[in-house]
Amino acid sequence: MNKLLTICILVAFGFSMTTVSAQQDAQYTQYMYNTISVNPAYAGSRGVLSIMGLHRSQWVGLDGAPRTQTLTLNTPIGDSERLGLGLSIVNDEIGPTDETYFDIDFSYTIPTSDTGKLSFGIKAGGHLLNVDFQRLTQFNGNDALFENNIDNKFSPNVGAGVYYHTDRFYVGLSAPNLLETDHFDESTTDSNSTAVSFLAEERINYYLIAGHVFDINPDVKFKPAVLTKLVFGAPLQVDLSANFLLYDRLTLGAAYRWSAAVTGTIGFQISDSMMIGFAYDRETTQLGQTQFNDGSYEVMLRFELFKKYNRMLTPRFF
C-alpha cells in the first residue's frame, strides 16, 4: 500500500532519478463551470458577479490521494462590460505535498457580432509549495536528499488565454502557467557512488475548451463539451462531456476522460442565482481496480449577483 502511494506521488509530482515533467495543474470534471481556473479570458464573460466553490477528492480510499479546493470570483468591470476581473485561490494536496495557488485575472472583450464576443485575458499570481519528505516511504532511510522539507516555497506565475463565445457556443485556448518552475532540484550519490539527479519541474499546460448548446425541444437542451490538456512530457488528456439540461433547472450527464475514467454528473439550478453540481469519476485504469480506490468525487456550488436586473434576462448555460 505504501509503495503504491509513493509511486503515485512520484508520478504525479514529478520526482524521478532523472528529469521528469508531469501534469501538475489541478484536475476538474466539472470544467465547463470552472473555466476561469484555466482561462483568464473567461473573466467577466457571464456579465454578472459569479462566485464558485469546488471540492474534489480523488481516488477516495487511497492514503494520501489528491484533494483539491477551489474558490473563484469573476465579474465585469464598468457599464461597458468590456473589462473583466477574476480572482482565484486553489489548494491542491497529494501525499506529502501541499500547494496553494492565488491568481488575479484581467480580460478585455471585443464584440464581433450581435451575439459573438472575443475576449483576451492575462493572469498573474503565484503559489506556495510545502513538501514533508518524512511522510514518504523512503527506500534509503539515511538519504540526505530528503532531510530538509520544503516550507512555503514561493514561485511566481503568469498566464494568458483567448475566449470566444455567443449565447450558445464557446471555445477557448489558454496557458494558465507560462513559467516553467523548478520546484525541487537536487543531486546526491547512491550506494554505488553514482551521481543521481532529482528534479520536479512544472511545465506549461495548454488547454483547449469548447462547447455548444442545442435545443432538443422547448424543455430539453443538449450541452456537449470537450476539454483538451497538453503538456510536453505527459500523455494528452481529453475530457468529453455530454449533459442534458431539463426545464432550465436539472442537468444530467456523463463524461469520459480518454483512457482514464468514466463519469456521471448531476446539477441543479436552485434559483436564478444559485447552482449546485456533483460528479463521480470511476477509473478505467488498473488503479481503478484496486480495493483502495472508491473513485473520485467532486461537488460544486455557484452563486451569482445580478447588478442590473432582478434576474438574468438571457440565461447563460456555461
Helical (H) or strand (E) element with 221: strand 220-230
CB atoms within 10 A of CB 142: 7
- pLDDT score of 196: 45
- In this structure, are residues 245 and 251 in contact, taking their beta carbons and an 8 Å threshold? yes
- pLDDT score of 118: 97
48-180+200-307 — its CATH code? 2.40.160.40
Closest by Cα among 66, 74, 26, 71 to 50: 74
- pLDDT lower than 50: segments of the chain: 1-23, 189-190, 195-199, 309-311, 313-314
Question: Per-residue b/e over 150-189, b at no fewer than 16 CB within 10 Å?
Answer: beeeebebbbbbbbbbeeeebebbbbbbeeebebbeeeee
Helices (H) and strands (E) in the chain, counts: 1, 18
The DSSP letter of residue 193 is S
- pLDDT score of 5: 43
- pLDDT score of 243: 96
**What's the rounded Cα separation, in Å, for the pair 299 and 55?**
5
Neighbouring residues of 122: CB distance < 8 A, sequence distance ≥ 6 = 40, 105, 106, 107, 158, 159, 160
- pLDDT score of 310: 47
Question: Per-residue b/e over 233-247, b at no fewer than 16 CB within 10 Å?
Answer: ebeebbbebebebee
**What's the rounded Cα separation, in Å, for the pair 129 and 134?**
16
Strand, helix or coil for residue 23: coil
- pLDDT score of 22: 41
- pLDDT score of 139: 63
- In this structure, are residues 41 and 165 in contact, taking their beta carbons and an 8 Å threshold? no
CB atoms within 10 A of CB 231: 21
Most distant CA pair in the chain: distance in Å?
Answer: 72
